[in-house]
Chain A
Amino acid sequence: AQTVTQSQPEMSVQEAETVTLSCTYDTSESDYYLFWYKQPPSRQMILVIRQEAYKQQNATENRFSVNFQKAAKSFSLKISDSQLGDAAMYFCAYKPPRQTGANNLFFGTGTRLTVIP
């Protein structure tokens, strides 16, 4: 079974500062997909960023970027210039390659991010 580990149950960051959330995963596959989702107090899951394992370049979406270390099976999320609206639960998720026939996501247990004004 796939496992996704988020070792930081809670993190905090000062507004306008930078924070990094950690994620590691376990897989024997070489071609897969990784995601970070945000779940604010409304509990709606929002896709933040995605990374294809075959791409060496780290994905970036505005203030959000990832550090994808394939050999280490690590996928951390960096939030720059943190804003109050970034406060939420953040989930790391893994999707197996298409040829396995598995389309579902495997989620970590989440990291609760608090932004301090």
Chain B
Amino acid sequence: DGGITQSPKYLFRKEGQNVTLSCEQNLNHDAMYWYRQDPGQGLRLIYYSQIVNDFQKGDIAEGYSVSREKKESFPLTVTSAQKNPTAFYLCASSPDTSKGSYEQYFGPGTRLTVT
């Protein structure tokens, strides 16, 4: 089945440790995105990538890093510099927007808890 997978569903880390969240898609989409969701604040964009080996910062990129070495994969690393990393993280992808399709498709999310 085509779709977006995120793993793990729940992740626990100690403060000061870096952690990497996985996002894989087999939809052949060009663009991929990472959002953070906190209670009462909706979704906020962390990073996005429109093509392989290229990515741009979103509104809240500080303390996060990404890579896009393959079209299918867009992992997010939450570094120890992120001051409040506990949140729900959602990965999304969308087709080549130059071809006129603009909606984003989301993965099931990863709940990260840092103590």
Contacts and interface: CB of A to CB of B under 8 A. Distances in A.
Interface residues of A, number: 22
B102 interface: yes
Interface string B27-44: 000010100000011111
B42 A104 contact: no
Interface residues of B, number: 25
Interface stretch (B16-24, B66-74, B104-112): B104-112
Most chain A Cβ neighbours within 10 Å, of B31, B42, B48, B108 = B42
A33 interface: yes
Contacts of B48: 103-104
A39 to B, nearest CB: 9
Given A43-B88, A43-B109, A105 B104 contact: yes
Interface of B: 31, 33, 40-45, 48, 50, 58, 88, 90, 92, 94, 97-98, 102-109
Interface of A: 4, 9, 33, 35, 37, 42-47, 50, 91, 95, 98, 103-105, 107-110
